[in-house]
Amino acid sequence: MELVIDRLSKQYGAKIAVDRISVKLNKGVYGLLGANGAGKSTLMRMICGILKPTGGTVTFDGIDSDKEAFRAILGYLPQDFGYYPEFSAKDFLLYIAALKAIPKKEAKKRVAELLELVGLSDVANKKIKTFSGGMKQRLGIAQALLNRPKLLVLDEPTAGLDPKERVRFRNLLGSIGKDCIVILSTHIVSDVEHLSDEVMIMKDGSFIFQGKWNDSEMSLEDFYLSQFEEDEDHE
């Protein structure tokens, strides 16, 4: 199981959002840290094959990200998780399951399992528009897990979760990360510290750090904050 990102770039006019990123990822949880505008979401959307890169490639075990077979192993939670307000949680998951080509019978079973897992069983038939932010986020996580993905891409998955929900999410991700590649982006350094096997820090479209955080001199949070301070000094 290997995700290969090779010289991946995205340019919008004169602005380079992602600048020739190359990395190879194997089974495990990868935390992607970066300030707003660092290029995290652009990178993640290109990994998922929904945004055409200006250059470079993304492959999973040799399969290109623009192929159907790639999308078959993918689970994705976008940063701004969209939903249909008039759908119930159950209907929404059944719809996404259909999009993931999961057979109807299996989909019903999997939807019930996931609703239980994310604690939404009681409100399965309620319209999503009545849900709190945290409940919607949990629904988003559930839809990403429907097809038991080998590559799970989570863009700001803990946004909107309360501390209790965050702990539950960490435990959930801990078990999922043993069998697949998980890439999660966040602003919250503690999430990365607790969850990730490896850390990738992005700044201005490039990785400024990639690997395990072993520095005993400086904590990950201090290093991350120091990058902002550098920016402020330059300004």
Partner 1 sequence: MNNFGTLYKYEVKKIVCKKLFVVMCVLLLVLIALTPFSGLFGAYYENGEPVGSSLDIYKIEQSRKMALSGRTIDYELLKETVEAYRQVPDELRYTSTPEYREYAIGYNEIFAFIRMSTGMDFKAIKAWEPDEEELYKSRKETLNRYFEESFITDAELKFWKEKNDKIDGPFTYTYHDAYEILIDSFQTVSVIVMAFIAIVLSGLFPNEKVLKTDQLILSNVLGRKSTFEAKLLAGITVSLGCSLILSALLFAECLGYYGTQGFEFPFIMVFSVSAIDISVGQACVIAYLVLQAAVLLWAIIVMVMSEFLKNGIATLAISMVFIIAGGMISFPASMRAVGQIWDWLPTNYPAIWNMFDERTLPIAGKCLISWKVVPIIYLLVGTALFFTGKRKYERVSAE
The residues binding partner 1 (CB under 8 A) are: 45, 48-52, 68, 71-72, 74, 76, 78, 80-84, 86-87, 91, 94-96, 98-104, 143, 147
Length of the chain: 235
Q: How far is the CB of 59 from partner 1 (least distance, A)?
A: 16
Q: Which is nearer to partner 1, 50 or 172 (CB)?
A: 50
Say how far apart CA 24 and CA 5 lie, in whole Å: 6
Q: Which is nearer to partner 1, 107 or 173 (CB)?
A: 107
- Listed residue (156, 155, 152) closest to 173, CA to CA: 152
Q: Which is nearer to partner 1, 41 or 224 (CB)?
A: 41
Q: How far is the CB of 190 from partner 1 (least distance, A)?
A: 27
Q: Which residues pair with 55 in a beta bridge?
A: 9
Q: How far is the CB of 203 from partner 1 (least distance, A)?
A: 23
Asked whether the beta carbons of 136 and 159 are under 8 A apart, the reply is no
Asked whether the beta carbons of 93 and 143 are under 8 A apart, the reply is yes
Say how far apart CA 193 and CA 198 lie, in whole Å: 9
Q: How far is the CB of 234 from partner 1 (least distance, A)?
A: 29
Q: Which is nearer to partner 1, 41 or 196 (CB)?
A: 41
Q: How far, rounded to the nearest angstrom, does the alpha carbon of residue 221 sit from its chain's CA centroid?
A: 20
Q: Which is nearer to partner 1, 181 or 189 (CB)?
A: 181
Q: How far is the CB of 92 from partner 1 (least distance, A)?
A: 9
Phi then psi dihedrals of residue 122, to 5 deg: -65, -25
